[in-house]
Each structure stands twice: as C-alpha cells, then as structure tokens.
Amino acid sequence: MRLRALLDTDALGLRLLGGEDELDRAVRGVMTTDLRDPSRYLSGGELVLTGLAWRRDAADSEPFVRILVQAGVAALAAGEAELGDVPDDLVLACAKHRLPLFAVHESVAFATITEHVVRQVSGERAGDLAAVVDRHRRMMTSGPAGGGPDVVLDLLGSDLDLRAWVLSPTGRMIAGSKVAGPALPAETCARLAAEHLAATRTGRRGPHRVHVHGTAYSLFPVRSSGRSPQAARDVRETVLSDWLLAVEADAGDWPGERLDLLQGVTQLIAVERDRRDAARTVRRRLAQEVLELVQTGAAPAEIAARLRVAAPVLLPGLGAAPHWQVVVARVEWEDGEVEGGPVAQSLLEEVLVDPLATGPEPADRIAVAHTGDEAVALVPLPAVASEHDGSETGLLAEALLRAVREPLSAGLDDDGRLTLGVSAAVHSAEGLRGALEEARHARRVAAARSGRVCAAGHQELASHVLLLPFVPDDVRRAFTARLLDPLKDYDRRHRAELIPTLEAFLDSDGSWTRCATRLHLHVNTLRYRVGRIEQLTGRDLSRLEDKLDFFLALRMS
C-alpha cells in the first residue's frame, strides 16, 4: 500500500505534518516503538508509530529521525496523547531528512492503525504471491524447471511468514521451506497425518484445524491435479495415498484470498505428486511382470532374465545382482465395496521408502504390483543381506509399521484393516516363489491378530504361533475351557493364584527352585499349588504332553 492511502482513510485520523512529496512511498509493514534506537527491529518500508516516550528534550529528535532514515522506514506517525501537539523539533528533523511525518489524534489507538496496515499489506502480498504461485504452477505443468514445491513453500515463509510443510499420509516429510526453521519432529508429523486422515474420513472439507503440543496447524489436502474432490467414488480409494500441506497457523479467520492462495499451492504440489507417480510406472510394470511369472510357475531362467532387467532400474550402479525380499500387504474394508489392491500398492510404496530419505522421490527403489485386495512388493537388497537370512540387514515386519501405525489406523478408521507379511531374503529366481508364499503365510499370521494395522515376518513361521491363529474359534474355546476353567473358578473362590503359578512354572521350564524364587514362595507352597492344579485338571505336570497342552491353552486364552 502507499502512504497516500493512509490519509484517505478517515477512520485512522492521520494528519500530515510534512513530506507531501513522498506520499507515493510503499508501506511494507508497521512497527510501534518508544526505543531511542529501534534499528535492530527494522527491515525497511515500515510505518513507525511512536508515543514519543523516547524524547527527553529537543536534541533527541535529530538522532532518532536519522536512525529511522538509515533503516529505510517509509514514514513516522507520532501520537498526540502524551505531549499534545507534535514537537516542532521533530517536524524540522523529519523535513530535513525527507521523512514523511503524520500526527495521530489522541482518540485513535495505535492498534487500529496497525490492524489496518497489516490487513492491507497482507492482502497485497497474497495477491503478488498468488501470481508467483500461478506462474510457478504453469512452469511445473510444462516441465521440471519450476524447482518443486520447496520454492513455493519458501515464498510462503518469506512473504507471508507462514511455516509450511508437505507430508505423506504416513507423516513422512516430503518438502519444507528453508525459512520454516527446524524440521518438524517425526512425532508431530505422524500426529498431523493422523489428524488429517481422521478428518478426511469424516467427510469434512479442508482445511482441517488442529492443535499439537499447543501449536495451531491448518491441514490442506493435496489431491491429484487431474482429479476433483468428487472424482473418487469413495473417499477410501484415495485417503491413504493423498499428500497434505501442513501450515503452522489457524486458517479459521483467513480471508478468502489467502485460502485461495493456499489452494493454488496445493495444486502445484499435486503436479509434483503426479510426476512421482508417473516415475513409478516402470517399476510397477516390472513388478507385475515378475509376479505373473512367479505365480504361473515360469521357469527360473525366465524369471532371472526379467530380474536382470529390473535390477538396474531398482538398484542403479549396484554392479552385482541383488538379493530380494517379498512383502505382501492387504487392505480390506468391512463392506467390501472398495478394492484394496491399489490402496495397498500406494501404501507399500510409501512404507518401504527409506525412513531417512526426504523429498518426493527419496531413493525410490522398490517395485509394487497389485491383484485384487493384495499388493506385492519386490524389494532389492545388497547381496550381503542374505548372509543373515534377511533378519539383520533386510526388512523387519514390525519395524516397517512402527512409525506409521498411528496415522494409518486413523485413515482406516473403524471399517478398514491393513495386514502385512515379510519373507526372508532370497538370492535367486528359484527362491522367489517360496518367498512369495512365505510372505503370504506371514500376512495370514498378522491377519489373525487384533488391531487395525498388523505385521508378521518370516521368523514367526517357525514357531507354534504359526499354528494357533488357524485353530477354529470353537475348538480354541473348548480346549482352553476344559483345561483352564477349573483353575479360574478355584482362583475366584479361594484367591489361590493357580493360573499365575501355572504360567510361572511353565516359564521356568518346570524348575521348582527357579519358579519358587520368581514367585517369592517356599518350595513346599509351590508344590502344594501345583498338586492342586493337577488334582483339578486331572493332568500331570511332570509329563511333557501335559505341559505342552497347558502352554498352548494359556497362549490361546
């Protein structure tokens, strides 16, 4: 805005005392001060408001005005509430240095002037920035010369003082402005993603306003540039794949112009997301071809040939043929109306990204195919990974979901479920068919567990836990009731703690001494309790078969 516009606003009650020839100066901000030297807080272009508390005598006006001029301020406005009329020495000093001077009537609060200037300047900045964003979006649409979303996020920070970040649906940091300060903590990112997904599932329109650790954020959905919010038949088709723009501000009282500006920013970011998806097309096609070969029983030589094509794409510059792990994921909705395969595919592509990498394409070296409700990822590993059977240098099932469980659970809400299984690493095409079956078995183990987001790895397939989930529910109930119900009833009546004693006895491998020490009991007391367990159940805890039955009953209860 220009200084001249201030005089045209009657509500401000400003009276010009000097500098009529300088009224076309631009005002970029406003500052209220009574410091004798406010230079450290000035950046140029401000309208400075002062109550004249810094002035002790006439000699103080000249150095004060000189400091303002050297800082590049646009004008000075002096209040009349303290001294009455503005002192002549201040008027002369401003005239000498060609600094426009206004008098502020005692009935006008500085806050009124500040609010007016800030509102005008912010609106103009938003308009200028909107033009920049639109130009940048056109550049991004025609090619990569625009520089990605980071450039516009930097503009939001420098021109509108808005700290902003682009996050994936799992809370991974994709982009952030350099002027936004330190990166958001991973915990905050995950919380913002969870809040966004939860709000999206309710059908509420963005931006979504949330508070995390006392800080207000506004969350704007980033949708594909070719898709309108109504294009998807069901929000569940895209809720777990859409990015979001998180702005550290409460957008509840923003004017329409600023909201429109942020919508333009999300459109720009959507272009980058579409480019990332296009770059994954080759990897997806390779994964689909390999999966079809494996499932149809193709010859290992044919699969190996396809893997030799895939290796340079997935691990450029590796030199040697990699080893592979297979990850299987399944997304299921209770009503069965949304196909889970594409959703699971997008999720695996996100979850399998290097957690230390940032950016829209952070070392994107995995290939994911999907069929029906299932997605299958072919994950290349350095050859050394298989020396440890994938358990140390390969992917670990639970580790994949540890950081993303909160946001994904929010996105799945109460009608969706994600289960995931991970195979061991294999070093040849011959091993891929077995790895695929292994990952599918592990996923079924995960599916037998409770929770919206569950995972299991190949290590669990060599344990009794592989068998327990597939025992029919009625058989499980009958088996546990026959063995444990007599003990539970006795405990309720006599508070004898037979069930805890049984658990401790089995955990101690039947050692009387270790078990007694663990329970802080005399050995004779322990022997009495174990005898009571055997009497009530008709079992003998010195026999391996009966110990195993009790062990399984406790695990299934």
Q: Which two tokens stand for residue 198?
A: 């939860």
Task: Flag whether 191 is in a domain.
Answer: yes
Q: 301-357, pLDDT tens digit by residue?
A: 888 888 777 666 665 555 455 678 899 999 988 887 888 888 898 888 888 875 444
Q: 215-227, pLDDT tens digit by residue?
A: 999 999 987 654 4
| Cα–Cα distance for residue pair 381/340, rounded to 1 Å | 27
Burial status of residue 85 (CB atoms within 10 A of its CB: 0-12, 13-18, 19 or more): exposed
The predicted pLDDT at position 223 comes to 77
The predicted pLDDT at position 319 comes to 47
Among candidate residues 468, 500, 524, the one where a domain is terminated: 468
Q: 152-208, pLDDT tens digit by residue?
A: 787 777 767 788 999 999 888 888 877 656 778 889 999 999 999 988 888 777 789
Residues 413 and 439 in one domain: yes
Most confident of 363-367, 449-453, 553-557: 449-453
Residues 297 and 271 in one domain: no
The predicted pLDDT at position 363 comes to 46
The predicted pLDDT at position 360 comes to 42
What is the arithmetic mean of pLDDT over 438-448?
85
Task: Flag whether 137 is in a domain.
Answer: no
Angle, in degrees to the nearest 10, between helices 149-160 and 110-142 = 170
Task: Flag whether 142 is in a domain.
Answer: no
Q: 262-292, pLDDT tens digit by residue?
A: 887 887 788 777 777 777 787 788 888 888 8
| Distance set, CA 423 to CA 290, 354, 384, 388, 460 (Å) | 16, 18, 16, 13, 10
Residues 416 and 515 in one domain: no
Q: Which domain CATH number covers 157?
A: 3.30.450.30
Return the number of other C-beta atoms located less than 10 Å from residue 45's C-beta.
17
Better-scored residue on pLDDT, 517 or 259: 517
Least confident of 29-38, 152-161, 299-308, 374-383: 152-161
Residues 340 and 435 in one domain: yes
Among candidate residues 418, 446, 468, the one where a domain is terminated: 468
> What's the distance, CA 137 to chain centroid?
24
pTM of the model: 0.59
The predicted pLDDT at position 358 comes to 46
> Taking the alpha carbons of 458, 461, 465, 468 in that order, is the dihedral positive or negative?
positive
Task: Flag whether 81 is in a domain.
Answer: yes
Better-scored residue on pLDDT, 472 or 259: 259
Q: Look at the chain and count its residues.
A: 557
Average pLDDT, the chain: 80
The answer on pLDDT for 415 being more than 80 is yes
Task: Flag whether 136 is in a domain.
Answer: no
Dihedral in degrees, nearest 10, Cα atoms 179, 180, 181, 183: -130
Q: What percent of the chain has pLDDT over 90?
A: 24
Residues 275 and 185 in one domain: yes
Among candidate residues 108, 139, 158, the one where a domain is terminated: 108
Residues 263 and 380 in one domain: no
Residue 61 pLDDT level (bands cut at 50, 70, 90): very high
Residue 229 pLDDT level (bands cut at 50, 70, 90): very low
- Please, are residues 403 and 173 in contact by the beta-carbon 8 Å criterion? no
Residue 400 pLDDT level (bands cut at 50, 70, 90): confident
Residues 220 and 91 in one domain: no
**In what helix (H) or strand (E) does residue 487 lie, and over which residues does it extend?**
helix 473-494
Q: 112-127, pLDDT tens digit by residue?
A: 888 788 777 665 555 5
Look up the domain containing 391 and give its range: 283-468
The predicted pLDDT at position 127 comes to 53
The predicted pLDDT at position 70 comes to 92
Query: Domain tally for the chain?
Result: 4
Task: Flag whether 118 is in a domain.
Answer: no
Helix %, strand %, coil % of the chain (to 5):
55, 15, 30
CA angle 268, 240, 292 (to 5 degrees): 105
DSSP single-letter state for residue 12? G
Task: Flag whether 128 is in a domain.
Answer: no
The answer on pLDDT for 142 being more than 80 is no
Residues 324 and 267 in one domain: no
Least confident of 38-47, 83-92, 331-340, 381-390: 381-390
- Please, are residues 113 and 49 in contact by the beta-carbon 8 Å criterion? yes
Residues 420 and 327 in one domain: yes
Residues 397 and 530 in one domain: no
Which among 59, 3, 9, 51 is positioned nearest to 27, based on CA atoms?
Answer: 3
Q: Which domain CATH number covers 319?
A: 3.30.70
Q: Which domain CATH number covers 17?
A: 3.40.1390.20
The predicted pLDDT at position 469 comes to 58
The predicted pLDDT at position 470 comes to 57
Task: Flag whether 125 is in a domain.
Answer: no
Residues 202 and 319 in one domain: no
The answer on pLDDT for 130 being more than 70 is no
> What's the distance, CA 225 to chain centroid?
21
Residues 324 and 371 in one domain: yes
The answer on pLDDT for 480 being more than 60 is yes
